[in-house]
Amino acid sequence: MDAGLVNADSTLGSQLVNSHWYRVAGLAPRLRDTLRIHSQYWRRQLWYVVEDRINARYHRFDRQAYRIIRLLDGRTTLQQLWLRLAAEAGEHLPSQEEILSLLGQLHSLDLLATDTLPDLAELAGRGRSQTWRKRAASYFNPLAIRIPLFDPDRFLQRAAQRLAPVLSWRGAAIWLVCVLPALVLAASHWRELTNNFGERVMALDNLLMLAVLFPLVKILHELGHGLACKLGGGEVHDLGIMLLLFLPVPYLEASSSWTFPDKRARMLVGAAGMLVEVWLAALAFYLWFWLEPGMAKALAYDVTVLASVTTVLFNANPLLRYDGYYIASDALEIPNLAQRAGRWWSYLFERHLLGRRYAESPAQAPGEAFWFTLYSPLSFLYRTFVMFSIAVFVAGQYFAVGVLIAVWSVAASVALPLWRALGWLARNVSAGGIDSRPRRVILALAAGLGLFLFALPLPHHTQVDGVLWLPDSAVVRAGQTGFAERVLAISDSDLQPGETILELADSGLAAELAAQTARTEAAQVRYDAARLEDPAAGERYAAELRREQKALAHLAERDARLAVKSASGGRLWLSQSEDMPGRHFRQGDVLGYVIPPAPPRVRIIVDQSDEALIREHTRSVRVKLPFAVDSLWPATILRSVPAASNELPSAALGRSGGGEIATDPRDDSGRRALTSHFEYELGLPDDFPYRLIGSRVSVRFEHPLEPVGKRIWRGLRRLFLAHFHS
Amino acid sequence: MAIVNKMPIFHGGQWPPADVRLAARIFPERADTADSALDRWVTGWWQGKLRTWYPRQRERIRFRDAVATAAERLQLERWDDDRLRRESRPAANAAFIGKDFASGALALALVREAARRRLGLLAHPPQLLAAWKLLCGHLIEFDTGEGKTLTAALAACLAALAGVPAHVVTVNDYLAQRDAEKMQPLFAFFRLSVGVVHGGVAQGDRASQYARDLTYCTNKDLVFDYLRDRVNAGGINSPAQLAVRRLHQSQRGEERLRLRGLHFAIVDEADSILIDEARTPLILSALSDRGADRDVFEQVLAIAEQLQQDLHFRLLGAQRIPELSKEGRLYLAQLADDYLAAAEFDRRQKALDEFWQLDWVREHYVLQALRAIYVYRRDQHYVVLDGKIVIVDEFTGRLLPDRSWEQGLHQLVEVKEGCAVTGQNRTLARLTYQVFFGRYLRLAGMSGTLREVAAEMAAVYRVPTLRVEPNRPCQRIEWPSLLLRDAEAKHAAIVDEVMRILNEGRAVLIGTRSVMASLAISRALAAAGIVHKVLNALQDEDEASLVARAGQPGAVTVATNMAGRGTDIPLAPAVSARGGLHVVLSEWHESARIDRQLFGRCARQGDPGSCRAIVALDDELVRHYASALANWTALQWPGLPPASAVKLLRRTMQSKAEAANAAQRRATMRQDRQMRRQLAFSGATE
């Protein structure tokens, strides 16, 4: 052999040429025999679906990849193949690396056959790592531990034949007839349906029921897919169980629909499961509607909820990778939407930030870029949001499980992609040499993020609810039950303290008073007479007299209270001054207010966790009225109660009064909070408008500027501390 | 070629060891591991950082005592040669294969006795401990001048006695030849045959050299011989398959396999082979059929010279990778159109047509031409010898006469220098050192400078590193470094220093990083009228004798940093009495390790000696890796900067350079793994 030696330099060679090419240049691989290739148009671009008939797997390739794949005939060596591609005028020339990576991909998908003996050690290693990766993927993705059960193809075939008369426009009509009235009815019974939803659904016995019902509902869903797939001429060979949050859920492999040339047929397959479920939900809703309360009604309720809520929340949503996603991908005619959207973003990053002008856009057809730009962040946010909502919802009922789900979902939807992205960035940093642009950009971004999180001070505030509050002396109450007789003061006039506002009349009281006066006088007479005659007997009458006098004094006091007086000076506001005369008031009824010249105060209650921040780090306080959102009023802290208490100053702050704070449902007043709070009293400026005393206001405490990272850290710490301490 | 299966039957254990997973290949070697980056990182930390420097004084003393007692108890001096030979085989077997401590002590006592008789060298305890640790598969940090040659020979001898083919891997041809010859009497004593493989050994002889009991070889020849075997095997994965093929094809013109498997290697200068050279993969290639077309390359070079920097192309990063701009590509397309229009009816020159017609070919070759013009420099990256381009090894400063660059670059450089254009090479196989040495069933090594790379060694090669303390304390004195403003001042300072040392009647060795630097210093010395010798890539024939004479009084030697590495510089008694050899480091290297290697040239084996770094702020590496800090230092201290500033600058520069090199090694390895995975369909080729 005439061999020379080459000094290799890993920086050598342009993008097109790969230094490992020699290993494959002489190989002539071909596609395996059992493959069938279907072509489809997506946005007027050709795509190819490779059907692997042995494994019943389907792989989609774009035209560029297919240009290479079509040349894999077992006779053309890769070197020839590359030269032929290079000679094709006006076409993009794939780099050797791209070809190698495509071939590697084909090999790992078991689509490739070569005449050489493959690297057995690598094959075994790949087998192991694939199994591991699959398992890891299924652990990190709670939706993917699959256990195949049986081949439903023949069953579905027969079912499709039997149901042929219904699987047409007639079926659609029946579906509409069932579902539309249910929708209307559901809207009118919305309160009944949704009242106390969380507790009803998450009660332990109900959870068990749901666990039983869920697979049953989903089996119908999957059969829906299967039928639609058969209807379009596809094959369905795999029905089984996958574990979703440890809950067994049936799945059905209907990816042969990928080969359907008509996108509507593909969309129907995607939608069929949901159609079945919505229909089922409608039927169950009717049952729930007609049934008397009991076990059966609860069951019907559960089926309704399962078949409608889960469908709308998960399946229908294109932002999660369920049915809705595939429907959307077909409808938009963007194959592999999610992966390519991800690639689009990394392309944007590489091209614009790292300045790699060779970076290749994954967008191939006009309009795709728009959807890519939109899809990735939306789906990321939504996925995170759904995961967190589920976690919070569950944590409300079962804390440990909720936290577990939260940790799991954070790991799967945030940490794992973040880890991958970091790895990618790290490779970029280390690949480019000491002062390459990628390195600089990434380090700058990291520094920027670090500065933003931990150095850049940002406005920071805490918002709490408060209630506008007046001293008791400002409230004008009926001191005694009676009919209004005369209104002495007019509304909106200024009063002095002690001025009479209103006179009440109580004929019963008047009569009683008269009778008692007579009785007292009689007792007086009796006493006077007796004293003169016999001082000893006089003593006996004296006791009687005192008793009668006391009763009279009591009545007189009640009578005096009929005159309603202002306890403090200020401006009078009477609620219904015109039609007051003749009306009956009970003792304690609020008739109006004498509003003092000083402004009202705001009483707020502050959660223990916010207390320290408010007490120690408040720059200013602003009050906002619910009916005048635009204007902010400055306030000052006048008083704080140094001890925590469960008592709310007003029911308006509690949840039963429409506020934010959870109150004890056993307490009728609605003023007993479940957790203890600190109370503060705030003073308002003099020009504060005086209306709606007792109304809720929102109070905003402005804290010193603080970086976001510190706040997140504190919030997290508090979240866990709060839970373990209470 | 029957050697492949000729493995002796062992009594004291099994070889290859049962716990090693063998690769499915023609001869015994370890299967490549597919461990993750995390695995490597953890191993690196555990074995390389936490375990390495754990004090093992007890073990050291125990081993020394065990050897001494074995020697005394058995009264080895009184044994005749036959008895020594007879007893040593089973002991070596148990020591090497079973890693048995007592047998190890006994075996080493026996071999030491043999070495004493035949070589007249009595191995001292550190050497014995090091040899024992080598047998067990460790890397040993052993101060320079501690007698590594003998240590390696002891270990290799025992492995060979155990019947395991041993490779002693050295960095250059001279060392392989010298060490083998020097130790020949020892091996002869045990009737062990010694093979030597280096650049000067003909391909046809190599199989017989490797077939000997133990083989001294250079790292590059070893890897390329392995690659040739792999290419010859052509997809054959087991000896059985090989036999079947022989049967069918009746040996027509087939080449013999050279190696017998990767059993046991002792790598001398382990850090430079396993770390420094592991940055770039080794590529075996054959001259391609397509004849060299000078016209094409000339035209490409002419076009590349027309292109304007920053308009048509840019040079990116520290490595100055050229990249065409949009304007540049348009300009090329324009030129191509013009050419094709003019040459419409003249289709004789097929190569030229291909160049002009295909965009990627055109741009690829223009980029290579830009590299040839702007990146690769004469006397730094290559030299011109006898009308040929000879590549200079970036690390050792040595000439690599049979190497060439890939993908047209070599031809373009040849045209640039007006040399005859050779044919292009076609890659046959490529391999990284990381993968190759990882395949040894047992790997051991030695160097004077390993502590910095212990973690990487453990992570990549899964070999722990140990330090063995020297027998005699080192008497080297390091004088404070001088950091000067520019090359001119540096040269003046070096001349001053040399004068001063010469006046004392001592000898000076000046280490440089490149051929160019050594020439510049040589000019400065000549201008000052100092008689000196230059030892660089341009004249490396009498390297060893030059180095050997560097210890004479008044000798001044300018050498690229690793020229004559491994050769002792014997001190003349007069020099030794006046303070020994003085080493001047004229430029900091990319890692402190290499600096220490250079300083290790003086004060060996308890000799006196001194060293000093005399460097400048405008040294190439300083400019590359720490230019901002260098500028700041220059501003802050217009005169001589204080020692702390000098240290800071050196640390910064070297840590950055080390990080960049480590990243490149990781990238090489990652790329290799990735490609191996991706190209699995192509079969288990290299």
Q: Which member of B24, B224, B280 has the closest CB to residue A8? A: B280
Kind of pairing between the strands at B507-512 and B581-585: parallel
Whole-number pLDDT of residue B160: 94
Backbone angles phi, psi at A683, to 5 degrees: -95, 145
Q: CA end-to-end span of chain A, whole Å?
A: 81
At residue B57 the predicted structure's pLDDT band, cuts being 50, 70 and 90, is low
The DSSP annotation for A178-236 comes to HHHHHHHHHHHTHHHHHTTHHHHHHSHHHHHHHHHHHHHHHHHHHHHHHHHHHHTT---
Task: Among B353, B620, B682, B686, pick the best mutation site for testing chain A contact (most A Cβ within 10 A).
Answer: B682
- C-alpha closest to that of B365 among B329, B418, B331, B407: B407
| pTM exceeding the 0.80 threshold for the entire prediction | no
Task: Determine the average pLDDT of the residues in B14-20.
Answer: 81
pLDDT of residue A340: 87
Give the SS3 label for residue B188.
helix
From B576, B578, B585, B584, select the one nearest B605 (Cα to Cα). B576
Nearest CB among B24, B220, B361 relative to A121 is that of: B24
Q: In terms of Cα–Cα distance, which of B105, B96, B23, B103 is closest to B64?
A: B105
Ordered by start, the domain boundaries in chain B are 36-285+432-468, 289-423, 475-665
Along chain A (726 residues), what's the average pLDDT of each consecutive run of 10 residues?
36 59 84 84 84 80 86 86 77 79 83 68 63 60 67 89 84 91 88 75 79 88 90 85 73 84 88 91 91 86 87 82 87 86 86 73 83 90 80 72 75 78 72 62 85 84 80 78 81 80 84 90 87 79 88 88 81 74 82 78 79 80 77 81 75 68 70 77 77 75 85 77 56
DSSP A47: E
Measure in Å the smallest separation between the Cα of A443 and chain B Cα atoms: 16
Which pLDDT score, from 0 to 100, does residue B394 have?
66
Residue in chain B lying closest to A87 (CA): B358
CA of A407 vs chain B CAs: smallest distance (Å): 23
Q: In this structure, are residues A40 and A121 in contact, taking their beta carbons and an 8 Å threshold?
A: no
Dump pLDDT digits (tens) for B536-579. 766 555 676 777 788 888 889 998 765 656 677 888 888 888 88
User: On the CB side of A265, how many CA atoms lie within 13 Å of its CA?
Assistant: 17
The residue to which tokens 């520290």 are assigned:
B318
| Cα–Cα nearest to B451, from B463, B466, B472 | B466
CA-based nearest residue in chain A for residue B408:
A13
pLDDT tier at B615, thresholds 50, 70, 90: very high
CB-based contact B404 A5, cutoff 8 Å? yes
pLDDT at residue number B541 = 57
The pair of three-digit structure tokens given for residue A626, joined into one six-digit string: 């619910």
Token pair of A717 as six digits = 């710490």
pLDDT attached to residue A181: 92
Strand (E) positions, A274-433?
none
Residue of B340, B383, B424, B678 to mutate, interface with A, max A Cβ within 10 Å: B678
CATH numeric code, B475-665: 3.40.50.300
Query: Does the domain at residues B36-285+432-468 carry the CATH identifier 3.40.50.300?
Result: yes
| Residue A636 backbone phi and psi in degrees, to 5 | -130, 150
CB contact under 8 A, B667 and A430: yes
Q: Compute the distance between CA of residue A451 and CA of residue A447 in angstroms, rounded to an integer.
A: 6
Task: Establish how many alpha carbons lie within 13 A of residue B174's alpha carbon, considering only the half-sphere containing its beta carbon.
Answer: 15
What stretches of A290-376 adopt beta strand conformation (E)? none
B289-423 and B475-665 have identical folds: no
Q: Which residues on A lie below 8 Å from B668 (Cβ)?
A: 10
What is the token pair recorded at A487? 């209104």
For the domain B289-423, what is the CATH code?
3.90.1440.10
Confidence of residue B10 (pLDDT cuts 50, 70, 90): very low
Give me the domains of chain A, ranges plus CATH numbers: 22-118 (3.90.930.60), 143-333 (no CATH), 472-593 (no CATH), 596-725 (2.40.30)
**Do A6 and B319 lie within an 8 Å CB cutoff?**
no
Q: Taking the CA atoms of chain B, what radius of gyration do you get in angstroms? A: 27
C-alpha distance from B103 to closest chain A C-alpha (Å):
37
Q: From the CA of A253, how many Å to the nearest CA of chain B?
A: 28
- Judged against a pLDDT cut of 60, whether residue B351 lies above it is answered with no
Task: Assess whether pLDDT exceeds 60 at residue B251.
Answer: no
Q: A14, B23: Cβ pair inside 8 Å? A: no
* Chain B residue with minimum CA distance to A114: B681
For B191, residues 6+ apart whose C-beta sits below 8 A from its C-beta are B85
Q: pLDDT digits over B268-288, tens only?
A: 989 889 988 887 788 887 776
B541 CB burial (10 A radius; 0-12, 13-18, 19+) = exposed
Contact criterion met (CB < 8 Å) for B679 and A104? yes
pLDDT in tens, B133-191: 999 999 998 877 678 889 999 999 999 999 999 999 998 888 899 899 999 999 999 99
Closest residue in A to B663 (Cα–Cα): A430
pLDDT at A431: 58
User: What's the Cα-to-Cα distance from B196 to each of A64, A308, B172, B183, rounded to whole Å?
Assistant: 53, 81, 12, 12
Chain B residues with CB inside 8 Å of A107's CB?
A: 678, 680-681
Alpha helix locations (H) across A52-152?
A: 63-69, 78-87, 96-108, 120-140
Average pLDDT over residues B220-247: 80
Give per-residue burial for A166-183: e unless 16+ CB within 10 Å, then b: ebeeeeeeebeebbeebe
CB contacts of A122 in chain B (<8 Å) are 676-677, 680, 684
* Helix intervals (H) in A411-497: 416-431, 437-454
Work out the percent of chain B whose per-residue pLDDT is above 70.
86
Alpha carbon distances (Å) from A234 to A42, A52, A225, B3:
20, 14, 11, 60
CB contact under 8 A, B317 and A432: yes
Lookup: tokens for B135: 């047998």
Flag if B406 and A6 touch (Cβ within 8 Å).
yes
Could you tell me if A324 and A315 are in contact, meaning their C-beta atoms sit under 8 angstroms apart?
Answer: yes
